[in-house]
Amino acid sequence: MEEQRATSLSRMDTIRALRLFLYNGIFWAAYGQVAGVMTPVFTGFALFLGLKESDIGTIASFSALAGLAQLFSPSLTRNIRKKSLFIIWVGFAEIITVLSVVFIPLVLPKHLWFIGLIALVTGGTILGHLVSPVFQGWFATAIPQQIRARYLSKRTTAVYLTAIITGYVAGRFLDALSGYKGFVWVFCLGMAAGIAGYLVLFRVPFPQMRSSAPTGFLPSLFGPFRDRDFRQLLIFYVTWVFAVGIASPFYTVFMLKRIELSYSTIAILNNIQMVCFILGLRFCGEFIDRYGNKPILQILMVPRVLIPIMWVFNCKENFLLLPIVMALSGFVFSGLTVAINNFLYGMAPQGEEKTSFFASWAASVSLASSTAPIIGGRLVEYFKPVQFNIGSFPVGNLQIVFLVSAMLLLIPVFLLRNVQEAKACSPGYVLGQIRRGNPFSFAYNFFLFSRVKGEEERARRASAMGRSKSPMAVEKLVKALGDLSPQVRSEAAKALGETKRIEAVPPLVAELNDSESDVRSEAAQALGKIKSKQGILPLLKALDDPDLRVRNSAIMALAEIGDEEVKEHLFRQFSAPFDRFTFPNLVEALSKLGDRRIVSSAIMNLEHYSSPVIRLQILNAVCRVLGGRNRFYELLIQDELKQTERASKMLRNAQKQVLADPKLPLQLRQQAAISIEKMRHNFEDEQYTQFLEDMRHLVPAIESQIGDVARVSTDTTLVIDYIRAIQDFLLLKKTEDIKPQGVIFLIFCLKGLVDILTGRGKFA
């Protein structure tokens, strides 16, 4: 045996068995929708024969009772040598017996139909139960333990989908062709499906079964108004408060009188607004601190104008827009409240005169707040006779006041342009920043990061802030580089790379250059993810760092940035005296940069490593640089059965390509086709030693006709690289490199070589 397995089946045999068991399940699902006693088809047939509902229950009872037959199966089948044949032939008898019920009206007198139905169903079911234990043992033994759950899930899905489709189609067929003839067709097709399910088993291999600041009153009062910035802000805010105050008292009236909502419903809507207001307060501070008050006000005033307009489009028959209005109101009001208060506090002087500013502010706002509702009330009375429709929504006096409020809100929007703030960004810039990444994910995770105390949770939140890719995360993560927890520092450095923001480069370079930093390796990795040219020189310098982790991280980071200068630097490092600790990463990095000069050295140095993981990593890099992209890796992460199946298919396709390409010399075509055929059979039979011998004969044959090949191939150097890769690998002394992933590597290279020779391109 080449290796131990859970079953005695070879990989190809197991692949074949799983595929065929899938087909078997599909056929039996179709049969079950016809023969199942509780299915609509069988029940319909019983009723067609004139049976009563109680009779169907009796049949079901007898059918269930037949399960007792399984008790006798083991002893009955113990001495049977060809158990697969026993299952199949008894299965045939089961299908034919059960579905022979369709012929009852033809062969039995009417008074015996019920007895005949019970006898055939019970007899056939007994036969099925007799073979069921043996079949389940066969089925379970053939499925490898490591993929059992996935396979059963796949097969069950196929079974249920088939049953659903079959049941629907059968029902539609009987609706279209009613009467006895319809049942005959359905039962015969069901019988064919059931028999097909057993016929499939003929090709399933049977395994060996073996037994988890003071001034006077007036100066004090009017002093603040001499401050232009304060005045402009106050004018803006007062006009806003007035515009909002015109309509605000009447929203509840509208819900009670016009929409006729209950108090409990109104309470729920208000709760929605309050919850959203609270949530908004949690998140808006971060945006305002970073970008300033004015841009946030400018952004939020737009939906604030729309809110009263949205109120108009609600009526007794349709008020679905209300929950959205309440939620939007909560979020917008929270942001406006935080921005206005923050603006005012920042504008007020630091001395005792600060009190005057607040007094003048409050007096002015109170005036606007007290007059607005009075005017709003008058408007409500004035527009009382007015009634019209906007689409299907009736508009009355209250909705007109809402529209007036929206129109008045345009005034503060215009006045906001005169408000000055020194360090504010433009609204466009803020929106641009918000669109980059996920600001909500950043805000949520930063909120938790600033409040949780555990190291692991803070580290997770730092990582999540990076994944949000929000530019707002950079500043917070740079601060986190100074966290007392090594775990938090490490995740913060990695997260800065995840943001992919150019502003994160300087702090990361500083961290990389700090010999006392414990996150230098993570800083190097992060610079690679950002892919900024500013990170190249520090990373090149790090190639000679005494810290192995830093060297390896710098290598991979440079590969991420990648340009010709970087490639040449890395190749010089690769060509230096062999360093077993950096060699695998240099191979990986240069393969990503497309440097085929590494192929021979990469393969020949495999013998310096005993770890199969490192060896396969190097082979994957070779496949990548030869044009296979990441397909070798994608193949190796599959389970062993899938690897074998795909590799066998690659050999089959390679053989077909060679035979079908008239541009290749005839002798080469014939010899290659024969050799590939032999290799496929030896691979499938796991005769790896013979497979290698076949490969050793084929490659020199191709190499000997390289002149003819040059006229055919569009990339002769790649052909040569493939040949060298195969030959170098075959020269390896460690046979552990050959079984079985090493053989798959050779198949991969052979398929790539054939694709180039036949003009299919790289790994067609």
Q: In the chain, what percentage of residues exceed pLDDT 90? A: 25
Residues 6 or more apart whose CB falls under 8 angstroms from that of 525 comprise 493, 494, 497, 553, 556, 557
What is the rounded distance in angstroms from the CA atom of residue 318 to the CA atom of residue 377?
A: 26
- Whether the upstream peptide bond of residue 427 has omega within 30° of 0, thus cis, is no
Same domain, yes or no, for 635 and 709?
yes
| Helical segments of 177-208, H only | 180-200
pLDDT band at 415 (very low <50, low <70, confident <90, very high): very high
Distances (CA, A) of 271 to 257, 315, 316, 327, 385: 20, 21, 21, 9, 33
Same domain, yes or no, for 392 and 447?
no
Same domain, yes or no, for 417 and 457?
no
Hey, is 596 helix, strand or coil? Answer: helix
What is the rounded distance in angstroms from the CA atom of residue 419 to the CA atom of residue 426?
A: 13
Handedness of CA 588, 593, 594, 596 (dihedral sign): negative
pLDDT band at 150 (very low <50, low <70, confident <90, very high): low
Q: Would 608 be classed as within a structural domain?
A: no
Contact criterion met (CB below 8 Å) for 383 and 397 = yes
* Two structure tokens written together for 366: 């109170």
392 or 591, which is more confident = 591
Q: What average pLDDT does range 221-245 have in this prediction? A: 84
Specify the pLDDT at position 345.
Answer: 67
Same domain, yes or no, for 383 and 527?
no
pLDDT digits (tens, 9 = 90+) for 65-93: 676 677 677 767 777 788 889 889 999 99
Specify the pLDDT at position 23.
Answer: 94
Q: What average pLDDT does range 189-210 have in this prediction? A: 86
| Residue 683 in this model has a pLDDT that exceeds 60 | yes
- Position 194, amino acid: G
Task: Note down the domain range covering 501.
Answer: 441-594
Q: Would 373 be classed as within a structural domain?
A: yes
Same domain, yes or no, for 278 and 319?
yes
| Residue 1 in this model has a pLDDT that exceeds 50 | no
- Position 519, amino acid: V
Q: Taking the C-alpha atoms of 741, 744, 746 and 750 in order, what is their torsion angle to the nearest 10 degrees?
A: -170
CATH of residue 252's domain is 1.20.1250.20
* Two structure tokens written together for 602: 């990469």
| Residue 552 in this model has a pLDDT that exceeds 90 | yes
Across the chain, what does the average pLDDT equal? 82
Same domain, yes or no, for 195 and 236?
no
Specify the pLDDT at position 2.
Answer: 36
CATH of residue 491's domain is 1.25.10.10
Contact criterion met (CB below 8 Å) for 231 and 344 = no
pLDDT band at 520 (very low <50, low <70, confident <90, very high): very high
Residues 6 or more apart whose CB falls under 8 angstroms from that of 463 comprise 491, 494, 495, 498
Q: Would 619 be classed as within a structural domain?
A: no
Query: Which long-range contacts does 217-222 make (Cβ < 8 Å, 24+ apart)?
Result: 220/353, 220/356, 220/359, 221/356, 221/359, 221/360, 222/360
Domain boundary among 537, 568, 594: 594
Same domain, yes or no, for 190 and 68?
yes
Domain boundary among 572, 594, 616: 594
Specify the pLDDT at position 282.
Answer: 62
Q: Would 626 be classed as within a structural domain?
A: no
Same domain, yes or no, for 19 and 51?
yes
Same domain, yes or no, for 286 and 378?
yes
Specify the pLDDT at position 261.
Answer: 79
- Nearest of 621, 671, 676, 687 to residue 654 by alpha carbon: 676
What is the rounded distance in angstroms from the CA atom of residue 495 to the CA atom of residue 492?
A: 5
Q: In the chain, what percentage of residues exceed pLDDT 70? A: 84
Buried/exposed code over 329-351 (b: 16+ C-beta within 10 A; e: otherwise): bbbbbbbbebbbebbbeebbeee
Residues 6 or more apart whose CB falls under 8 angstroms from that of 74 comprise 133
Q: Is 684 exposed, middle or buried (0-12, 13-18, 19+ CB in 10 A)?
A: buried
Q: What average pLDDT does range 722-726 have in this prediction? A: 91
Count of domains for the chain:
4
- Nearest of 675, 673, 677, 676 to residue 665 by alpha carbon: 673
Same domain, yes or no, for 421 and 445?
no
pLDDT band at 764 (very low <50, low <70, confident <90, very high): very low
Specify the pLDDT at position 216.
Answer: 53
What is the rounded distance in angstroms from the CA atom of residue 548 to the CA atom of residue 544?
A: 9
What is the rounded distance in angstroms from the CA atom of residue 441 to the CA atom of residue 495?
A: 14
137 or 620, which is more confident = 620
CA angle 431, 433, 437 (to 5 degrees): 115
Q: Would 621 be classed as within a structural domain?
A: no
Question: How long is the chain?
Answer: 764
- H/E element, 85: helix 83-99
pLDDT band at 126 (very low <50, low <70, confident <90, very high): confident
- Position 358, amino acid: F
Against a cut of 0.85, is the pTM above it? no
Same domain, yes or no, for 305 and 377?
yes
Q: Would 388 be classed as within a structural domain?
A: yes
Handedness of CA 233, 235, 240, 241 (dihedral sign): positive
Q: Please, what is the angle between helix 716-730 and helix 741-757, to 10°?
A: 160
Q: Would 137 be classed as within a structural domain?
A: yes
Q: What average pLDDT does range 563-568 have in this prediction? A: 87
Hey, is 389 helix, strand or coil? Answer: strand
- Give Rg (Cα) of the chain: 39
What is the rounded distance in angstroms from the CA atom of residue 368 to the CA atom of residue 363?
A: 9
**Number of Cβ atoms within 10 Å of the Cβ of 264:** 8
Q: Would 609 be classed as within a structural domain?
A: no
- Nearest of 131, 133, 153 to residue 141 by alpha carbon: 133
Q: Taking the C-alpha atoms of 121, 127, 133 and 138 in order, what is their torsion angle to the nearest 10 degrees?
A: -110
User: In this predicted structure, which of 428-437, 507-516, 520-529, 561-570 has the lowest mean pLDDT?
Assistant: 428-437
Same domain, yes or no, for 268 and 318?
yes
Domain boundary among 404, 432, 460: 432
